[in-house]
Amino acid sequence: MTLQRQLAWRAGSAEFFGRVTVFALTAFVGLSLPSALRAQSQGRWLLGTVIAGDGSPVSSARITVTLSPDRHELQTRSDAAGVFRLRLPVTDVDLLLHVTALGFAPYRVRRRFPADSAELGLNVVLQRVTQVLNAVRVEAAPRSPPRSDGSIETETGASQTLVGGVAAGLSPNQQGNVADIAAAVPGVVGMGNGVSTLGVASSQNSTTLNGLAYAGATFPRELRPRTRVTTASYDPARGGYGGLQTALELPPGNEWTFHLAHLTVDAPQFQAQDATSRAFGQSFTRIDAGIGGEGELVPGRFTYNGAVQVTHQTALSPSLLTLSNSNLAFLGVAPDSINRLRSIISSHYPALGLGAGSRSVGQDRILMMGRVDRVAEHRRSEGLLGFVSWSGVASPGGGEISSATHGIASDQLGLGGQFVFSQYFHDASLEQFKASVSANRQRVSALSSFHDGTLWIDCRSVRRRWRGLIPE
């Protein structure tokens, strides 16, 4: 019994002392935790002002505080009154204060934050400094202005379009035609005698070649000029047109050599036609050939860029006196009227015979354009450009009734040239000189003879003038 009592007393004593220990620890934590939380919520604050040497506050000054020993950095800025306030996460620490502001010398100071203090005040006085830079001298060699390489670009504030890649969209007889190329630009409408924009007549358009006036309407299709269509220009110095301006730039050749050539044959056998179209001469034969290229004419000294194109076309122009009755009915002409006309011609003009077949109408065209340039040296360069355009039409007879001895032949000839000169002066200025001359001629003449004594009657406008053909 005595041993059991002793063990029970010891167990009760241990439980009692354990309860007392837990109560004591709980009381200690309860008393110390609020003070710790209160100290943590209050924290340590670094307060101060930043002023200039004259006492005026310095705003937007950067304050950087570096704490030791882990070199942790804190930053803030001063307000409009020059006051700054920064909270520190630890106490009893050494700190390095660094203050910078634009126009002032940097300020550095080391302080010890006391362990028994909640705030540390610092007043910083910054001294104004004047930045004095050493004289800076820049030296560079003057850049020589580049010579024109024939490139053409759009101008600022202008309504312009660079035409490129439209050759595949044009038929062979349209390639090289300035009006057809311009018509590929949106907003430009093709007309019978040219192109128009905003309804302006085609007579108010203009064409330039290398910046100078160009009187031609076509160029060889083997050439590759850069083309720009302008409907409105911001530059007041550019004028001479009320509709649109088509600018062509033919660049000089270079060391790379290439050549282009074509041959197009359009024969009546490849044309869709019937008996009526053949009788009225709507089938034709056309041969178109050309060659061109660019490269070095004399290696290292002269370059070239040019092309030539030749076109020949023939078609039959029928006579009213040789048409069949079905063709006359298509025209609305009675065969007995033609027989009466034959009798009148035979009685009044016995010296003239009547045509027994159709006449041949021929159209020919020759286009040549090219330039030769001397390879640009350091000081000067020269270039010479020339172009020739000739077209002719030969047609026996000039009206509804005419003798073959009085056929009509017309031709147009246009030729011109340009001279380009450039020279450097003192490696800083470049003088460029361009001059051009051109001439045009149009001639209509009577053909001497085709089939002497043969009378031809053209049926192309018989619908309009048939009543005036037969004299009373």
DSSP states along 100-148: E-TTB--EEEEEE--TT-SEEEEEEEEPB----PPP-----PPPPPPPP
What's the CATH number where 76 sits?
2.60.40.1120
Domain boundary residue among 221, 249, 277? 249
**How does DSSP classify residue 177?**
B
pLDDT at 43 over 70: no
Looking at per-residue confidence, does 129 or 234 come out higher?
A: 129
Question: Would residue 206 count as lying in a domain?
Answer: yes
Question: Would residue 96 count as lying in a domain?
Answer: yes
Q: What's residue 87's pLDDT?
A: 85
In whole angstroms, give the CA distance from residue 441 to residue 411: 8
408 plus 425 within the same structural domain: yes
Tokens describing residue 147: 């010579």
Q: For the residues 332-361, what does the mean pLDDT come to?
A: 67
Neighbours of 185 (CB within 10 A): 20
302 plus 435 within the same structural domain: yes
Q: What's residue 449's pLDDT?
A: 42
464 plus 399 within the same structural domain: yes
**Taking a C-beta distance cutoff of 8 angstroms, is the pair 94, 118 a contact?**
no
267 plus 243 within the same structural domain: no
Q: What's residue 307's pLDDT?
A: 95
Where residue 17 falls among pLDDT bands split at 50, 70, 90?
A: low
283 plus 361 within the same structural domain: yes
Q: How many domains does the chain have?
A: 3
Q: Which residues pair with 430 in a beta bridge?
A: 424
Q: Which of 80-89, 250-259, 327-336, 401-410 shows the lowest per-residue confidence on average (mean pLDDT)?
A: 401-410
Phi, psi torsion values for 290, nearest 5 degrees: -160, 160
pLDDT at 216 over 50: yes
Domain boundary residue among 126, 145, 175? 126
79 plus 168 within the same structural domain: no
Question: Would residue 207 count as lying in a domain?
Answer: yes
Question: Would residue 49 count as lying in a domain?
Answer: yes
Domain boundary residue among 249, 276, 308? 249
Q: For the residues 373-397, what does the mean pLDDT come to?
A: 81
What's the CATH number where 179 sits?
2.170.130
Question: Would residue 106 count as lying in a domain?
Answer: yes
Question: Would residue 146 count as lying in a domain?
Answer: no
Contacts of 290 (CB under 8 A, 6+ apart): 220, 221, 222, 261, 262, 307, 308, 309, 310, 367
Question: Would residue 82 count as lying in a domain?
Answer: yes
414 plus 343 within the same structural domain: yes
Mapped onto helix, strand or coil, the DSSP state of residue 36 is: helix
The per-residue pLDDT for range 122-181, each reduced to its tens digit, is 889 998 887 777 888 888 877 777 776 666 777 777 788 888 766 667 777 788 888 888
The per-residue pLDDT for range 175-198, each reduced to its tens digit, is 888 888 888 888 888 877 788 888
175 plus 84 within the same structural domain: no
227 plus 265 within the same structural domain: no
Where residue 407 falls among pLDDT bands split at 50, 70, 90?
A: low
Q: Where are the beta strands (DSSP E) in 24-71?
A: 44-52, 62-67
326 plus 462 within the same structural domain: yes
Q: For the residues 291-309, what does the mean pLDDT come to?
A: 91
Percent of the chain with pLDDT over 70: 73
Percent of the chain with pLDDT over 90: 17
**How does DSSP classify residue 329?**
H
In whole angstroms, give the CA distance from residue 130 to residue 206: 64
State which residues form the domain around 51: 44-126
Looking at per-residue confidence, does 33 or 336 come out higher?
A: 336
Q: What's residue 23's pLDDT?
A: 58
67 plus 211 within the same structural domain: no
Phi, psi torsion values for 144, nearest 5 degrees: -80, 135
Predicted TM-score of the model (pTM):
0.59
Question: Would residue 121 count as lying in a domain?
Answer: yes
275 plus 182 within the same structural domain: no
Quote helix, strand, coil % in the chain, to nearest 5. 20, 45, 35
